[in-house]
Structures are given as C-alpha cells and as structure tokens.
Amino acid sequence: MSQDISTVAFIGLGVMGYPMAGHLARAGLDVRVYNRTAAKAEAWVDEYGGSHHPTPREAATGAELVLVCVGNDDDVRQVTTGEHGALSGMATGSLLVDHTTASADLAEELDAACRKQGTGFIDAPVSGGQQGAENGALTIMCGGSETDFASAEPVLSHYGRAVTLMGTAGSGQLTKMVNQICIAGLVQGLAEGLHFAEQAGLDQQRVVDVISQGAAGSWQMENRHKTMIADQYEHGFAVNWMRKDLGICLEQARRLQARLPVTALVDQFYGDVQVMGGGRWDTSSLLRRLRTLGAR
C-alpha cells in the first residue's frame, strides 16, 4: 500500500520545507503546496511543477499524505486544526506527517484529532539542517503506529537518509529533544575551546586539525570551526529556533523530573546572543558571545 502514494500535499516552504518538497516532485509525486507567503509557493511551482493552493485545506484535499514543516506548536495548529486547516480537507484513510520541531504534547493532540476523523498521524522532526534538506540526507525521528509509519516511510526516504520509528505519537519529538540537549552543551564546549586557544595565542586551525582526529571531534567541530574562527554566523541554524527548541526541552524535562543544568545555562547564553542582535545567527555564535565578554 505504501508504495502507492502518488499525491501529497506539502505545507510550509521555508528553509527546510522548500527543498524537501522539491525532492518529492523530482521523485515523480504529484505535489500540492501551500505557503503562507504565496510568492514562495509560486516560485516553488515555477521550479518544480505541481500546484499551489490558497489554504492548507485546499492543498490537502485529494492528497493521500499531508506533510507539514512550519515554525512552532501554534503555527502547526493554525495549518492543521485551525480554520481552513489541512485536517478539514483530508479524507478518511489519509495520513498527516508533521516535520516541525514541536512539543510531544502537540503530537499527542494531533494524533487524537486525526484518529477522531479516521486519518493517521506521524510526528517526524528532522535533523541535518538546510544542507541535509537540500542533499536529501536528513535524519528523521518518527512517532506513531507501525502501519502509518510503513505508509509514510517510502515518501520520507526521498529526503531522509535515516528514517526511524521511535515509538508511539510524540516519540519522534522526544528523540529530537535529546538531539538538541546533546548539541547545546557540545556547542558551548566547542566555543570555549576555540576561545581558550585564541586567548592562549595558539593557531586555532592547527589546534582543530589535531584534536578533531581524537576524542574531541564532533559534527559541530568539523562543520562549524572554520566559520567560528572567522567569526561568521550569517548561516546555519538560527539562535531563535534553538531557543524555541530548548524551551520545549526544559518544559518537558520539568514534567519528567529530568535534570538539565547545562542545557538551562546554555539557553540563557543564547538569550544573551539574542540581546546582541544575533537571533538569526547560527547557534555556533556562542563563541562571539565569549569574545565580546572577553573583550570587556
């Protein structure tokens, strides 16, 4: 059954959604898109074909699978269960997949709303950034039933290199929270290491060349050290998005009685970066914060 999906809707053509939807069109699927700013949807159709629609509901009508990638919980509610939302256009037996990084509560809420009207639901946040979306190499962490996952997985594989079912609805979002918790402390550690090397008068590039081969190596070190040394942050994953994600992690941790002292501290450091005007800078800009404080 899963291989039979031929008509999909994609809602939210941002940095991530635009190239993800593009992979589906290139794979030969009939893609119906919606974007709040209509000009982006028009540009997408000019580039990839398919069709654009004035509301999520109209985009979702006739689609076997509806994919969403917008900003936060409330944005997802607006385009799914809100007025003119996708759910009101979805037929019984169709399936909703949410790629937005959002709360596990929202996933459970959407799962219940979908079940009520006889549609399936998968929460499916992604990791891999803009580069991963453009190269079709995202890691996709899914929550939902095995049947729904089996239907969605072949479609998600067009832009996902690792597509994994983690458990019931909400499990994908919980796994993404672990991902962000692991990254937060690591990026601060990398920023402190490069800051220390600079203050010590070491050649930072040579330091990275040596230590990246050993136990200190990481994706962040490999992919971000050059721009960090050059103090360039106009790219990558925005601090504003990271604060949204860490807020979700900290709220979930409070309810789970999990202790996240370093994550909470790094969240405050990102608050400082926002005050510095860096809301849209890459998360590696924690180094600019240290350089700025160090210069005082």
Ligand X SMILES: NC(=O)c1ccc[n+]([C@@H]2O[C@H](COP(=O)([O-])OP(=O)(O)OC[C@H]3O[C@@H](n4cnc5c(N)ncnc54)[C@H](OP(=O)(O)O)[C@@H]3O)[C@@H](O)[C@H]2O)c1
- Return d(Cα 229, Cα 219) in angstroms, integer: 16
Q: Is 22 in the site for ligand X (CB under 6 A)?
A: no
> Which residue in the block uniquely carries the two structure tokens 């709040």?
36
- Return d(Cα 118, Cα 68) in angstroms, integer: 18
Catalytic annotation present for 176: yes
Least distance CB 253 / ligand X (angstroms): 18
Q: Is 70 in the site for ligand X (CB under 6 A)?
A: yes
- Return d(Cα 165, Cα 41) in angstroms, integer: 30
Q: Which of 85, 129, 160, 193 binds ligand X (CB under 6 A)?
A: 129
Q: With CB under 6 A as the contact rule, which of the stretches 15-23, 86-94, 109-117, 191-199 interacts with ligand X?
A: 15-23
Q: Which of 67, 79, 174, 190 binds ligand X (CB under 6 A)?
A: 79
Nearer to ligand X, 204 or 233 (CB): 233
C-alpha to C-alpha distances, 197 to 64, 207, 211, 212, nearest whole angstrom: 54, 8, 12, 14
- Which contiguous run of DSSP H or E holds residue 161? strand 160-167
Nearer to ligand X, 233 or 237 (CB): 237
Q: With CB under 6 A as the contact rule, which of the stretches 69-77, 157-165, 167-175, 253-261 interacts with ligand X?
A: 69-77
Q: Is 58 in the site for ligand X (CB under 6 A)?
A: no
Q: Is 193 in the site for ligand X (CB under 6 A)?
A: no
| Own/partner long-range contacts of 55-59 (Cβ < 8 Å, ≥24 apart) | 55/84, 56/9, 56/11, 56/80, 56/84, 56/85, 56/86, 56/89, 57/84, 57/85, 57/86, 57/88, 57/89, 58/34, 58/84, 58/89, 59/9, 59/10, 59/11, 59/32, 59/33, 59/34, 59/86, 59/89
> Which residue in the block uniquely carries the two structure tokens 């997802």?
76
Q: Is 16 in the site for ligand X (CB under 6 A)?
A: yes
| Window 213-252: contact mask with ligand X (x via CB under 6 A) | ------------------------x---x-----------
Return the number of other C-beta atoms located less than 10 Å from residue 250's C-beta.
16
> Which residue in the block uniquely carries the two structure tokens 């590696």?
284
Q: Which of 7, 27, 62, 78 binds ligand X (CB under 6 A)?
A: 78
Least distance CB 68 / ligand X (angstroms): 9
Q: Is 15 in the site for ligand X (CB under 6 A)?
A: yes
The residues in 84-103 that bind ligand X, with binding defined as CB under 6 A, are 100-101
Number of residues lying near ligand X (CB under 6 A): 24
> Are 72 and 49 a contacting pair, CB within 8 Å?
no
Least distance CB 257 / ligand X (angstroms): 26
Does residue 28 come out as left (phi exceeding 0), alpha (psi in the -120 to 50 range) or beta? left
Least distance CB 12 / ligand X (angstroms): 4
Least distance CB 226 / ligand X (angstroms): 18
Query: Three-class SS of residue 84?
Result: coil
Residue nearest to ligand X as judged by C-beta position: 14
Catalytic annotation, residues: 176
User: Interface with ligand X by CB under 6 A: which residues?
Assistant: 12-17, 35-37, 40, 69-71, 75, 78-79, 100-101, 126-127, 129-130, 237, 241
